[in-house]
Every structure is written in C-alpha cells, then in structure tokens.
Structure 1
Amino acid sequence: MLDVLKPVTSLKLSTKPRGEGAVFKLHYRATFVFIMGCCILVTATQYIGDPIECLPDKDSIPQKVIDTYCYITSTYTLPKYYNMKVGVEVPHWGLGPEMAEDEKVYHNYYIWVPYMLFIQAISFYVPHWIWKAIQTDKVYTILMGLDNRSLDEAEKKDKENLLVKYLALHLHTHNVWAVKYIVCEILNFVNVLVQISITNAFLGGEFTNYGPKVASFLWQDPEDRTDPMYEVFPRVTKCKFWKYGPSGTVQKHDALCVLALNIINEKIYVILWFWLIILSVISALALLYRVLTMVSPSFRARILRQHGGTLRPSPLDPSARDAVDSLVHRCQYGDWYLLHSLGRSMNNLTFLDVLRALDRELNRSHSSDYDLNEKNLLKGKDVTSV
C-alpha cells in the first residue's frame, strides 16, 4: 500500500521562501497532500477489493453484468429498517422486505468520491498557486542566500549590506505586495468554508453533523447504538435489475450488493470533517491576527522583536529594541510584513544585524535630507537678501 501512496509521499513541494505563514502552508501542503493521498487510496482496488459485488436472487444473470449495472445506476436502502436489530429483525442495516410505497434512499455518491477528492485537493492548492504567480519571488530574491547558514562571514556581510540598501531605497513600496498576500489568505479561508458546504451537499446533507455523530457513537451503549457511518456509507445495499423472461415478460431481480470501498470512504470523511473544522477555525484566527497587525503598530513591533519567541534582545542591549521601534514607526505595513517574512527565513542574529543596519541607514538618509534642505533654505535666504 505504501507503493500506492508513493507518488504523494515523494511529492516535492517547493520550500522556497515566499513570505507565507504557517497557516497558509497548512492549506497547500498538509491538506493538499492528505486529500490527494486519500484520492489515490480509494482507487487502489487491489488492496480494498472490487468497489461493488452483488448477489442476485437467481443465477441467470452474469455476475459482471449485475455488478456493473448496480454500480452505475446506484443502490439504495430502506429507512424504515434503519433502527432494527441486524441479525434479528433484518439481515443487514436498512434492508428488509420491500413494498412499492416504501421510501428509498439512493446511494450513488460513492462513485464520485475519487473525483470529488481530487477536485478538493486542487482547490486547496489554487490560492498558493495564485500567490506564487503574483509575488514574483520577492522574498527569495531579496534574501540573496542569507537563509543559508553555511555562508562565510565576508560574503554574509556583503549580502547584508546589499539587503539593507535595497530596503532603504524601496521603503514604502511593498503595500501592494502585502495586500496580495492578504487576499490569498482570505481565499484560503473562503475555500475551506466552500469545501465544507460542497461536501455536505455531495453527501446529501449528512456531512455537517457527521463528525459529532461519529464521536457520540463511540460513547453509546454497544447494544443500542447505530453506527452513523452506515447512514452515509452503507456497506450492504439493495439493487433491482429487470430483464425479459423466457416468454418475453419483464422479470424483476433483487440483488444485495456489498460496497467494500465504503469502509475506506467512511474513515476518510470522518478525518476530513475534523480537519476541515480545525483548519477553518485556525484560518479565521489567522485573519484576526492579520487585522491586529494592521491596526496596531505596537503589536507589529512586538512581533518583530520577539520574532516567534526566538528574537529577544537582552536588557543590556537596548539598541535592538530601539531599532525595531524606530523601524516600525517609519515603515508602512508592507515594509513591516516584508521584514517579518525575511526574519522567518534568516538566522536570528543575522536578522538582528540587518535591522540595526537598516535603522542606521534610514537615520543617515534622514540626516542627509535634513542637511540638504537646510542648505537650500539658506541659499534661498541669501538670494532674497541680495
């Protein structure tokens, strides 16, 4: 089975720095790989068995014919037998003697599960693909290899100087770039909600409460409980097949069909329910965090100082804290997010050197501009006096 999943396990997703946060990566890495692996797993019939095997009431129908017919036309269960004891009142869950007026619940979505999973996996990768296409490798290009810990000291200093000059020269020009990333974050959150809604419609409205039902089922009395996974993914269903008899009359044939694939489908969608709910909550919190960073400069300064709890200047070295406070005061949101993205990819000490050097560079530029303005002002006064 590991050979079946080998295309997913060997999938090489780019680790190039692009300014993406951890929650963003959960969408296009963890979720994409998990759903794509499930898609491959449900098509591995050599390990699970045939998707459907039917037992007709007579031997006059070829096995392959009845199996194919019932698979493509969908099978059904009878709701009036859902709460009866299997092996005592009914032979299988939801199956029993049928009357013409009895309500039937048809189950044909198991045919489309692999396709549905494939489309969902692609949908979780799309926001990342959009971000990768529009961000022009800004973070990776600006880093110039400073995320490589094996650089010698001289080369590292040269790259740091180039980085500082770029940041100082292009100050206040990164807001559009940051807005693009925020839009992609919103797309991730919207996509999770859309996938929950689509999956619920795909499973006939059963997905919304699927996780809580399965969780409560585990705590019920084994003698009285009914597995909610049977309702969504029944393992034995019923099928009708009509054919002509020897005299030309239409004959009806009932068949019991075993859906071996549903034993995998039910587990996949239980895990998927919990994962999508957790991912939607985390994505919502990430958006709240983004709003907080946009409206609170002090929060941005705190994040930049601590940098995930690893960049904490000591009280004996207040220059780092002062440099960060000064930069946050001067930088717009796009500049701050670029610095934060660089800090996530660089060594903490290297990043701290860059912050100090950038603060000195901006101070020097500000001082030069001030002196130039003073000289122009004095020249203007001299001309006026003459």
Structure 2
Amino acid sequence: MFTGVGGEVHSPAFPGKAKGFFNEGISPQLNRGYDMLGIPFLDSAFLRLFSPTTYDDRIDRLNYFVTSSMLTFFAILVSAKQYVGSPIQCWMPMEFKGGWEQYAEDYCFIQNTYWVHFDEPVPDDVGDRRSAEIGYYQWVPIVLALQALMFFIPSWIWKTLHKQSGIDLDTIVKEAKSMRAARSEERKEEVTKLAAFVEESLEMGDRRAQYHLLCLNFGRSLGSYVSVLYIFVKLLYVLNIFTQFVILNNFLGTDYNLWGFQTLRDLWEGREWLDSGVFPRVTMCDFKVRRLANIHRYSVQCVLMINMFNEKIYLFIWFWFLFVAISTLLNFLYCFATMLISSYRERTAAVLLSTYKLDEESRMDTSIVRRFVHNALKPDGILLLRFVDMHAGGMAARDLCAQLFHDFYVSLESHYPRTGDGQTTKSTSPGIDEGFTEAPYNSDKLTAPLMQPDYVGPPKSKQI
C-alpha cells in the first residue's frame, strides 16, 4: 500500500525510491549550476519546472522545452542589442552637439518612429504620420518572453494535475529504466516488483476517485483520468501554437496570413523592406525641443539596426512555428486515437504481449486479453506502458506488460480453475472483473460476451 507523507509517495515494493528523483538523469555539472543559485527552495523548484520529465513524449518536449528555450534565447539576444548596444542611430542637424544627439536618439527609440516610402513625400498631417508609426520593435523582447511562457503553461498544467491520479509515473518510468542494467535474475525480480507497484498504483487511482471533489474529476472511476488529462494538454499545445500565428500577425501589423511564405516570395522577387515596410531599417522621427519661450520641431531620419536582427529572428520563428504546428497536430490526433479508442488500445497491448506465450489450449485467450486491457490496464495503464516504451525501451515495456498480464491471468485461473478435460468450473469466490483488485463476485457479468467464461455445463451421463 502507498503511504503519503508531505506529498511524497512511498511503496513497499520500492522503499525509499519514491523521492529524490528530480536530480537523477541530470549531469553533475548541471546540478552544480542549479546549486550555485544559493537561494533556498529555488534550486529544486527551478529544476522541477523547467527540466524534461519522464512522462511526456518528444512533441511535448518540442513545445515546452525546445521552443520555450529558443524563444527565451532570442529574447535575451534582442534585449542585449537594445539595451547594451546601439539599436538606433539618427542623422541630426548640425547644431545638435554631444548630449543633444544622444537625447534625440533615446527619444526616438522610446517613442514610435514612422516609415515613409522613399518615393513618397513626408506627410504634413500629424495623423498621417501616426498611422505609419512602427511601435513593435521596443516590445520584441517582452513579447518573445511571453510567447515562451505560453508554450510552457500546458506542461505546467500536466505536471500539476496528473499527480492527483495516484499513479506515480515518474517513479515507475525511472525504475523501468534502471532495469536495463540489471542481470537476468535480478531483472526478473525487479520486473515482478515493478509490476506489483504498477498494479497497486492503478488500483489506487480508482480508489481515490471518491475522495476528490475537484472540477477536473473526469475519468477517474473509469481509469482514464490521466489519459483524458494528457489528451487535454495535447489540445492546449495545438491551440497555443495556432494562437502564436495570430500573435505574430497582429504584433507585426502585417496583412499576410502566411507571412513567412510571403516574405520569402518578396526576397525571391527582389522586393525588400524598402517596398514592403515590414522591419524597415530607415525610418523618420519627430520630436520637439523647448528653447526659452519657443518650441522647435525637428524631423530626423534614423537607422533601426535592431530591425535587421528582428527580421531574421521572426522569419526563423515563423517557419519553426509551422513545423511545430504540423507536428503537434499530428501527434494530438495519434494520441487521441491510440488512447481513447478501445480497438487501438487492444492493438497496443497485443504488440507488447507478442513475446508472451498464451495458453494454446485455452479458447479464451482473445477475451482474456480484452478483459486485461479494459478491466485491468484501462486507458491510464496503456498510457503508462507507452511512457515506459518511450523512455525505458521496448524490452522493458514488453517485460512489464507480460508480467502484468501474467498476474492477471494467474488470478483469473484461480477463480476459474480448469478440470481434467480442459473445461473450466464456475467459482463462487470473488472474481477479478474490476481489474487487479478482488471485487465482490457478480454473476450477472458472465452474461456479457466479453465476460463469458469457457464453461459448457456439467458432463452428461452416458446411458448403458
């Protein structure tokens, strides 16, 4: 049984191994880097939030880890150019000396500059100049940081809510990974212990259903809370990536829905920023200077060198988002089909049990596998085996699934023992129709095709 102390989960199968996993799998150099922060609780919190986990897939890490890290790097790069380098330089009148020139450049960078085509005259109306203003370049680092945070939010939801299921995914996957280095006899023993741990976890997930009153209580009684939550998080990733395209178009002020392809087309046709006005390098700036009782208005021409970096960065980001969007959408559809459609779950279990030799004399093998999938593993168990397969390898997943099926099959045989002629006899002891637990026996369930035992009645007496 599990015992929870301070939010930690313990199991008799793995004493002392349910905690302290957050630093495993991380290089000593990286751990020392976190320890160098020197702030209580910040090291472990930072590592828990931002390090890759063992209960996700490659597309999840592509979103919350790779893309978030990339956007954060770009935000730091642009910030360094803006606040450390010289993001703008303006052509000043001759009477501007020293501090005047620096003041004008700082003012023009803080206030919005406006872009006018070189073949067109500068408009005299102030309203026309304001309509041509370019106001996004000052906000590029902040917007990039917010976009990185948006990619991380679904992962935070997944890490926070999946713990309510009672299934310690992190411990199970890491124990499965540790079995790869074990010897043959030790491996069998570890597989047996891990299978018992998984069985207890799946049972606990069902038992905890009646003690939770949260609004996100969906699927617990059906053994699908973790699976439905995981699909929901996948959907959040899909919605997030398509929201990113809307943010890009509105932030850059472009009318192109496919801005990346249109930009490449403009470059291919020789149509640069001088014609398109997107990320212009040369802009105009208006400012006023008070001298005694008079106010003098100046219009200067400025060079936005930061836009040269912004154009290349956003062009790369747009195509990267396109790649992430296609990958995330396909991954969502695949996970939805394989975890929520029963036939795909049965196929997944059949593949994992391909090396397990079933009883050839039994005519119930197919129905037993179906009962194993629907009553014992359920969607959460299938998802758990998928994580083991992805992070610990296919051999560990097959061994674990085979041991789980063996335990289920042995328990089934104990309640439906065979006679000498290969038939089964009906048992009055509690059955296992509810999975690995010993639930009260319900004879009505035998009428269903899925639960029908291979029982043909008592043998007929021969007449002499």
User: TM exceeds 0.5?
Assistant: yes
- Aligned pair partner of 2:156 in 98, 111, 129: 129
Match of 1:143 in 2: 173
Match of 2:249 in 1: 200
The whole-number CA distance in structure 2 between the counterparts of 1:101 and 1:375 is 91
Match of 1:264 in 2: 309
Q: Name the stretch that deviates more: 356-365 or 108-117.
A: 356-365
- Aligned pair partner of 1:41 in 67, 77, 88: 77
8 Å CA contact 2:90, 2:105 repeated in 1: yes
8 Å CA contact 2:415, 2:429 repeated in 1: no
| 1:26-67 deviation line (CA, Å, top 9, x unaligned) | 111111111011111112239994111111234236111101
Q: Name the stretch that deviates more: 206-215 or 332-341.
A: 206-215
8 Å CA contact 2:249, 2:259 repeated in 1: no
Deviation of 1:270 (Å): 0.9
The whole-number CA distance in structure 2 between the counterparts of 1:376 and 1:97 is 92
Describe the shift of the 1:22–1:329 C-alpha distance in structure 2 as closer, same or farther (beyond 3 A): same
The whole-number CA distance in structure 2 between the counterparts of 1:113 and 1:60 is 30
Deviation of 1:295 (Å): 4.8
Normalised to the residue count of structure 2, the TM-score between the two structures is 0.66
The whole-number CA distance in structure 2 between the counterparts of 1:327 and 1:202 is 52
For the pair 1:26 / 2:54, whether they are aligned, the reply is no
Higher relative contact order (CA 8 A, sep 6+): 1
Match of 1:334 in 2: 380
Match of 2:400 in 1: 354
Deviation of 1:230 (Å): 5.5
- Aligned pair partner of 1:100 in 125, 128, 151: 125
The whole-number CA distance in structure 2 between the counterparts of 1:191 and 1:255 is 41
Match of 1:3 in 2: none
| 1:80-107 deviation line (CA, Å, top 9, x unaligned) | x3xx6xxxxx4xxxx7444337833101
Deviation of 1:281 (Å): 2.4
The whole-number CA distance in structure 2 between the counterparts of 1:68 and 1:41 is 20
Match of 2:183 in 1: 152
Match of 2:265 in 1: 216
Match of 1:297 in 2: 342
Match of 2:209 in 1: none
Match of 2:362 in 1: none
For the pair 1:69 / 2:107, whether they are aligned, the reply is yes
Deviation of 1:112 (Å): 0.6
Deviation of 1:277 (Å): 2.3
The whole-number CA distance in structure 2 between the counterparts of 1:229 and 1:126 is 39
| 1:355-386 deviation line (CA, Å, top 9, x unaligned) | 22221111111222346972459xxxxxxxxx
- Aligned pair partner of 1:364 in 410, 420, 443: 410
Deviation of 1:350 (Å): 2.9
Q: Give the aligned CA root-mean-square deviation in angstroms.
A: 3.4
Structure 1: unaligned runs, 5 residues or longer: 1-6, 85-89, 378-386
For the pair 1:55 / 2:91, whether they are aligned, the reply is yes
The whole-number CA distance in structure 1 between the counterparts of 2:335 and 2:395 is 26
Describe the shift of the 1:209–1:144 C-alpha distance in structure 2 as closer, same or farther (beyond 3 A): closer
Q: Percent identity?
A: 27
Q: Name the stretch that deviates more: 57-66 or 40-49.
A: 40-49
Structure 2: unaligned runs, 5 residues or longer: 1-29, 35-46, 207-222, 360-364, 418-424, 431-464
Deviation of 1:352 (Å): 1.8
Q: Specify the code of the residue in structure 2 equivalent to 1:374.
A: S
Deviation of 1:190 (Å): 1.5
Deviation of 1:205 (Å): 4.0
Match of 1:186 in 2: 235
8 Å CA contact 1:146, 1:156 repeated in 2: no
Describe the shift of the 1:23–1:265 C-alpha distance in structure 2 as closer, same or farther (beyond 3 A): same
| 1:255-298 deviation line (CA, Å, top 9, x unaligned) | 11111111111111111111222222222222221232245333
Q: Specify the code of the residue in structure 1 equivalent to 2:263.
A: V
The whole-number CA distance in structure 2 between the counterparts of 1:305 and 1:58 is 82
Q: Specify the code of the residue in structure 2 equivalent to 1:211.
A: G
Q: Specify the code of the residue in structure 2 equivalent to 1:103.
A: D
Match of 2:51 in 1: 14
Deviation of 1:218 (Å): 3.2
